[in-house]
Chains A and B, each alone.
Chain A
Amino acid sequence: MREDDQHDLELHRRLSARDREAFVELYRRYGRSAYGVALRVTSQEVIAQEVVQDAFLALWRAPEAFDAARGAFRSFFLSLVHHRAVDAVRREERLRKRTERASNLEPVTGEDPAEDVVEDAYLRVRRKEVRAALSTLPAEQRRVLDMAYFGGMTQARIAEQLGIPLGTVKTRTLAAMRKLRAALQEG
């Protein structure tokens, strides 16, 4: 386990004991990433703020939802934020308005967040690893993954949008996930 993951575990343990300082440190570590993905998925600042606030409050309210045996806190929490962001856009039925944007999702490879936002070094490193892994995917696999993950679209909707069979979307998604899994698996 990475040293930073262990530190997260310690922060989570303290948070579970209602330690507000630990909560604030977790916010400082993951608030930017959480807001970044929420903003990317929802495309709306107000909704993204609600998503992030709700996610942190859910963490405070029910810290036992995180099970360290299932993986790193970082993955758990950012997954929670992503889930809520997708729920929010589907709820608000903004998918139709966002279709054009979802079809032209901006590439993330090459972005250097360090230029604009200060974040912990280990997150910067992991972010580069994730982006590098994504950049190795064939364009058609990357596209269905982006539409699902950042577009908040179902596979059926993606198939409709791209005019390809649902089975093809599933196959491309699985291929992409397998490659990413292999590339990002931590020893």
Chain B
Amino acid sequence: MRLTEDHEQLEELLAGYALLALSGEDAARADRILTEHVPGCARCRRTLADYRTLAGELALAAAPVDPPDTALAHIHRAMDDVPLAGRRPRRGTLIALAASIVALVAMGGLSLVLGGRLNEAQTQAGTALEIVSAMRSPGAQPVHVEPQGDLPPDSGVVEVSAPDIRRLYLAGDAFPEATPGRAYQLWLGSDGTWAAVGDQFWPDDGVILLEVVVDVARYDAIWITEEPIGTVPQDPSTDGRTWRALLPSTG
């Protein structure tokens, strides 16, 4: 096969990649060429950059719509509690919430230490009650998400969800700091296809708490990976720390 034909196929893949439209073998092949070929090929680097730019510009084809009046205020409030890359979240908030949740959780007979990435809503007592409610819901089955490789066994986390709440909670108290330049990402899998859920997160002194609005019943596996800060690949990265578990069937 001639080089020009090779690049025709590569460009086809890169176009689909930029549009987030690849799946299956094409997605796997794109991942390979992005790591093995593109970095050393000026032509492909240029093509990918152009198509990524184009993918951003295409958003302008949609009619602009005024966001709700309250949206900016809501973002401002959340900004105060979102941990910045390389910075820690507000410790006082974490401790206050962790204390209230642990007290409530203890009533349910399951001891969890909670803390971590929080937004304002999560600092409210209502959230704590939701967690307890999730654990007491019919069909709730806490899952231990196990560390892989050489990670210490106590770095595992607990996933809590229930069929009727469409929320997932993740908690741990010995979670290692992410590799510099990376953050943790939660993935849910279904028949071998993975979807990134929620924002990237960081532990606070080893403590994490994550609440994600998602119907966990549709998934059969959970995976936590390290990803570059601010970017989420189409599939989980396997070159960093990982935690995995199968989710119980709720059917």
Interface set of A (CB-CB < 8 Å, partner B): 20, 23-24, 27, 31-37, 39-41, 45, 49, 52-54, 56-58, 60-62, 64-65, 70-72, 74-79, 81-83, 86-87, 90-93, 108, 111, 113, 116-117, 119, 123, 126-127, 130-131, 134, 145, 148-150, 152-158, 170-171, 173-174, 177-178, 180-181, 184-185
Contact = CB atoms under 8 A, between A and B. Distances in A.
Interface of B: 11-12, 15-16, 18-24, 26, 49-68, 71-72, 74-76, 78-79, 82-85, 183, 188, 195-197, 199-200, 214-215, 218, 229-232
Contact of A62 (B11, B74, B188, B229): B229
Contacts of A90: 195
Find the residue from B61, B79, B83 having the highest chain A CB count within 10 A. Answer: B61
Contacts of B54: 75, 177, 180-181, 184
Contact of A170 (B16, B64, B84): B16
B58 A149 contact: yes
A187 B122 CA distance: 47
A72 B53 contact: yes
B5 to A, nearest CB: 13
A53 B82 CA distance: 12
A31 B71 contact: yes
B12 A171 contact: yes
A56 B78 CA distance: 10
Given A65-B231, A131-B60, 9 more contacts: A31-B72, A40-B63, A57-B199, A75-B54, A91-B197, A93-B218, A170-B15, A181-B50, A184-B57
Nearest to B11: A174
A95 B193 CA distance: 15
B82 A57 contact: yes
Given A35-B66, A117-B65, A173 B16 contact: yes
B63 A71 contact: no
Contact of B21 (A24, A76, A92, A154): A154
A126 B11 CA distance: 25
B163 to A, nearest CB: 16
A173 B90 CA distance: 46
Contacts of A83: 20, 232
Given A31-B72, A91-B214, A79 B55 contact: yes
A131 B197 CA distance: 32
24 contacts: A39-B62, A57-B82, A57-B199, A71-B53, A75-B54, A79-B55, A82-B59, A91-B195, A116-B63, A126-B57, A126-B60, A127-B61, A130-B57, A130-B58, A134-B58, A145-B19, A149-B55, A153-B21, A154-B22, A156-B24, A171-B12, A173-B16, A174-B12, A181-B51
Given A148-B19, A155-B23, A35 B65 contact: yes
A34 B62 CA distance: 9
Contacts of B82: 57, 60-61
B233 to A, nearest CB: 11
Contact of A108 (B55, B62, B75, B229): B62
Contacts of A86: 20
Contacts of A154: 21-23
Given A58-B230, A78-B59, A130-B58, A49 B79 contact: no
B62 A74 contact: no
A31 to B, nearest CB: 5
Given A31-B71, A57-B82, A71 B52 contact: yes
B65 A177 contact: no
